[in-house]
Structures are given as C-alpha cells and as structure tokens.
Amino acid sequence: MRCFIAINLPDKIKNKIIGITRELPDRGIKKVEKQNLHLTLKFLEEVNDKKIEEITNVLEKISYNKFEVSLKNFGFFPNMNFIKVIWIGIEKGREDIIELQRQIDLELEKIGFKKEKNFEPHLTVARVKSLENKAGFLELIKKLKFEAGFSVSNFELMQSFLKPEGPVYEKIVCVELK
C-alpha cells in the first residue's frame, strides 16, 4: 500500500484554502480536493502490512511538543518560470515542522527508509498541467493574499488509494504530540 506521514489540517483551514483556490483558473490546473489537503512530512511509497506495524511502532516513540503554524501566501515548484505545483508557505512553525520531520526521518532510517534530501515544508494546493496566460496568472497570484493559523497536536500515518477520480486518503494511525 502507498503510504505517507502528514499533518492534517482543521476543517476551518481547509475551507479557507478552498475559498481562495476557487480564485485560481480551472483550465490546466488541478486543485487539491478539500479532504486531501495536508502537510506532507514524509512519503513512504509502497509498504506491506508487516512494515506498517514496524512504522507504527517507530512513530509512536517520537516525542515532540505541540506547536502553532501559520500559513501565508503562495509559491511554486520547481520555480516561477516553470510552474508545476502551487503551494501555500509556512511562516510560523516552519522550524518545528522541519524538526519533527527530521525526527521522523531519523527513526524511520533505523528500519530501512532513506532520509529526505531537501525537505521543504509547504502545503500543496494545486498542480499545473498548463497555463494559457502565465503573466495573467502571476498577476492574479500577486493579488491573492492568504493567511491562516492552527495548532498542531498530532501527525498521522496515511494510506493513499489511487482511483480514477483522484487519490483517496485513509488514516492508519494518529500520533499525539505532548
């Protein structure tokens, strides 16, 4: 099964994100569905049931304090000249997310997972297939201001099912922060 580790967002934040992404053009852009909005900490790829048990045991050993996150403004991967992913940045809580991800990486490395090379905390809100009017799109993004905050009290091991209508995510285990 395809798995990843993520911080899931409160519904009020998801609603706010969906509200602002409605402003993005529909043509050539696939917006992330409300139920799929999350902050990815680590993508694990395909893992079997036995490995899930190992992963769960390792994750439950991680001890990290709750923290606050503020989301602010838009960015792009890989860059502004070649836009494939539209994301919202992390302002407050960025260092906490990086440290939590580092701890997860260290623990998972003990059971055979590779460490992330360049982890960049972000919240993917859309994927770009094509932009007809890139200059107009960039102008629109400059005008769109986004700001929201929430408390992080846990992270989750998630399973991803790829369906014709898009991915469906299901929680496997929730790890509470202290």
pLDDT tens-digit series, residues 28-50:
999 999 999 999 999 998 999 99
14, 31, 38, 42: the active-site residue: 38
Listed residue (33, 161, 47) closest to 108, CA to CA: 47
Domain locations in the chain? 2-176
By CB neighbour count within 10 A (0-12 exposed, 13-18 middle, 19+ buried), where does 98 fall? middle
Q: Average pLDDT of 142-146?
A: 93
State the chain's mean pLDDT as an integer: 96
Residue owning tokens 């997972």: 113
Q: What are the start-end ranges of the E strands in the chain?
A: 2-8, 29-31, 38-46, 67-79, 82-90, 122-128, 147-152, 154-163, 166-176
Tell me, what's the pLDDT at 131?
A: 93
Distance, CA of 24 to CA of 138 (rounded, Å):
10
Distance, CA of 149 to CA of 162 (rounded, Å):
30
Q: Look at residue 174 and give its three-state secondary structure.
A: strand
5, 122, 148, 158: the active-site residue: 122
What pLDDT band is residue 127 in, cutting at 50, 70 and 90? very high
Distance, CA of 165 to CA of 33 (rounded, Å):
11
The residues that bridge with 174 in the sheet, in sequence order, are: 156
In the CATH scheme, what architecture does the domain 2-176 have?
Alpha-Beta Complex (3.90)
Q: Quick check: 138 pLDDT over 90?
A: yes
What pLDDT band is residue 165 in, cutting at 50, 70 and 90? confident
Task: Specify whether 122 is catalytic.
Answer: yes
pLDDT in tens, 45-97: 899 999 999 999 999 999 999 999 999 999 999 999 999 999 999 999 999 99
CB 149 within 8 A of CB 96: no
**Share of residues in the chain with pLDDT > 90 (%):** 93
